[in-house]
């Protein structure tokens, strides 16, 4: 059975393509899922790709990933900067955790400079736009010894 990588997306990412395209680009969440699926297929990985606007649902999925995923990629959106609950859930994940952002939060508003996700993550990919999703899948594969 192929190793499973969970890619979880937080609030407002369902609006990609129309939400501030000058920052986030014109690709939709479905486009990003297709990018991830292509990368996963090429690396012999199984992909679980989800999005929620609800913090508790993301926490539940992170807890699920503890037993079902070899690696976790998380674009927590605004919850990156506010959610201790997500941080605490990530601390329970034994496998690699990759924090992902389309934009570079450090080039944006000061409140985006703090990440509660980063301190519970193996690494961070930020500022590469949609290509960051492909990079995250490749990083996950390498971290679990599949790439």
Residues annotated as catalytic are 24, 101
**90 CB neighbour count, 10 Å cutoff:** 25
CA dihedral for 51, 52, 53, 58, sign (positive or negative): negative
- In this prediction, residue 110 has a pLDDT band, given cuts at 50, 70 and 90, of confident
Confidence band (pLDDT; 50, 70, 90) for 19?
A: confident
- Spatial separation of the C-alpha atoms in residues 107 and 21, rounded to whole Å: 16
| 64-76 tens-digit pLDDT | 999 999 999 999 9
Domains and CATH numbers, the chain: 4-143 (3.40.50.9100)
Cα–Cα distance for residue pair 108/143, rounded to 1 Å? 29
Per-residue exposure over 37-50, b if at least 16 CB sit within 10 Å of its own CB, e if not: bebbeebebbbbbe
**Residue 28 predicted with pLDDT over 80:** yes
Q: What are 129's two structure tokens?
A: 């736009």
What pTM value is reported for the model? 0.94
Rounded-to-integer distance, Cα 144 and Cα 138, Å = 10
Q: Which helix H or strand E contains 72, and what residues bound it?
A: strand 71-75
């Amino acid at each position: 059975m192929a190793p499973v990588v969970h890619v979880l997306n937080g609030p407002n990412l369902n609006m990609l393509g129309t939400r501030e395209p000058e920052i986030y680009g014109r690709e939709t969440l479905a486009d990003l899922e297709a990018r991830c699926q292509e990368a996963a297929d090429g690396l012999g990985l199984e992909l679980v790709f989800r999005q929620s606007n609800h913090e508790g649902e993301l926490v539940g999925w992170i807890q699920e990933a503890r037993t079902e995923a070899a690696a976790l990629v998380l674009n927590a959106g605004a919850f990156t900067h506010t959610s201790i609950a997500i941080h605490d859930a990530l601390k329970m994940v034994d496998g690699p955790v990759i924090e992902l952002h389309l934009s570079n939060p450090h080039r944006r508003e000061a409140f985006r400079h703090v990440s509660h996700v980063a301190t519970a993550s193996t690494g961070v990919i930020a500022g590469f736009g949609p290509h960051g999703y492909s990079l995250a899948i490749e990083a996950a594969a390498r971290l679990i010894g599949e790439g």
